[in-house]
């Protein structure tokens, strides 16, 4: 009987904790809605630190106290393990947000022997983006599968944005992108496209330039990285995990 009562007690405590968590999550959502009405949290989860919650808004991560009063936008470090839980959370949130875009809304260059998948925010008129794409077969040979998202830095209604739309609306997107990055003209076309959605995600991620490479663990690597070095980085990441 004692064991049974103990189990009932533990279940009651778990229910109470869940209720408290739900109440605090509601409080946090309401507080954020007042100060950041344009953003809707995609998740509110407890952290190992009592009274502190991890809040994700797409690829963005912040920490908020359970009473909804204090927001921490910076590193939270576990001094015992020396792990920056903020960076780990951001990597995971970034990857989830990218995957929600869906591969049907990306231009993908597959590898014959894929070991890794990277996602690259690209601008057709960016010099280093063109350099990266000129070596696309070298990345493929290294076992790197490349998924492209468009991030024309000049914004909407710019020539770069129009080129991205034209590439997307082409019959052969891979060929059109390769030609466009080689400086060849792409026949102007319009259709339903995800370019603005790609840009919105890039802005939420705080991109400052292109190319911006997201590794398959969600880590963001700004700028061009040559194929062999990138393969070594990816191998190192996977070995660590």
Q: Is 153 among the catalytic positions? A: yes
Task: Record the pTM.
Answer: 0.80
Q: What pLDDT, in 10s, does the model give residues 120-176?
A: 999 999 999 999 999 999 999 999 999 999 999 999 989 999 999 999 999 999 999
Q: Once rounded to an integer, what is the mean pLDDT over residues 191-216?
A: 96
Query: Cβ neighbours of residue 37 under 8 Å, at least 6 residues apart?
Result: none
Which residue is catalytic, options 125, 126, 147, 162? Answer: 126
Q: What pLDDT, in 10s, does the model give residues 162-191?
A: 999 999 999 999 999 999 999 999 999 999
Which residue is catalytic, options 90, 91, 94, 123? Answer: 123
Which residue is catalytic, options 90, 145, 153, 162? Answer: 153
Cα(155)–Cα(137) distance, rounded to whole angstroms?
29
Q: Is 123 among the catalytic positions? A: yes
At residue 114 the predicted structure's pLDDT band, cuts being 50, 70 and 90, is: very high
Q: What pLDDT, in 10s, does the model give residues 19-72?
A: 455 788 888 888 888 888 887 888 888 888 888 888 888 888 888 888 888 888
b/e burial code for range 102-112 (CB count within 10 A of at least 16 → b): eeeebbebebe
* pLDDT of 5 strictly over 70: no
| Range of weakest confidence among 17-26, 111-120, 188-197 | 17-26
Domains and their CATH numbers in the chain: 2-87 (3.10.450.70), 100-240 (3.40.30.10)
User: Residue 21's pLDDT is what?
Assistant: 55
User: Residue 4's pLDDT is what?
Assistant: 45
User: Residue 17's pLDDT is what?
Assistant: 42
Which residue is catalytic, options 90, 94, 129, 162? Answer: 129
At residue 3 the predicted structure's pLDDT band, cuts being 50, 70 and 90, is: very low
Conformation bin of residue 68: beta by default, left when phi > 0, alpha when psi is -120 to 50? left
The mean pLDDT of the chain is 87
Decide if 195 contacts 164 (C-beta within 8 A): yes
Query: Cβ neighbours of residue 63 under 8 Å, at least 6 residues apart?
Result: 47, 52, 53, 54, 55, 71, 72, 73, 76, 86
């Amino acid at each position: 009987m004692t064991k049974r009562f103990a189990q009932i007690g533990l279940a009651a405590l778990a229910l109470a904790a869940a209720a408290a968590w739900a109440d605090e999550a509601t409080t946090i959502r309401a507080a954020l809605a007042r100060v950041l009405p344009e953003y809707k949290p995609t998740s509110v989860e407890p952290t190992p630190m009592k009274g502190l919650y991890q809040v994700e808004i797409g690829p963005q991560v912040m920490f908020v106290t359970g009473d909804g009063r204090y927001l921490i936008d910076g590193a939270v470090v576990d001094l015992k393990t020396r792990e920056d839980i903020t960076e780990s959370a951001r990597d995971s949130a970034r990857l989830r947000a990218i995957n929600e875009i869906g591969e049907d809304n990306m231009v993908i260059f597959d590898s014959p022997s894929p070991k890794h998948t990277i996602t690259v925010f690209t601008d057709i008129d960016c010099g280093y983006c063109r350099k990266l794409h000129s070596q696309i077969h070298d990345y493929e040979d290294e076992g790197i599968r490349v998924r492209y998202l468009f991030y024309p830095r000049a914004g909407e209604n710019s020539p770069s944005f129009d080129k991205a739309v034209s590439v997307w609306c082409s019959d052969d997107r891979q060929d059109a992108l390769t030609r466009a990055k080689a400086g060849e003209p792409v026949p102007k076309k319009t259709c339903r496209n995800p370019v603005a959605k790609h840009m919105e995600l890039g802005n939420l991620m705080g991109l400052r330039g292109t190319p911006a490479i997201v590794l398959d663990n969600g880590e963001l690597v700004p700028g061009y990285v040559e194929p062999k070095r990138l393969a070594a980085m990816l191998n190192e990441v996977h070995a660590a995990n």
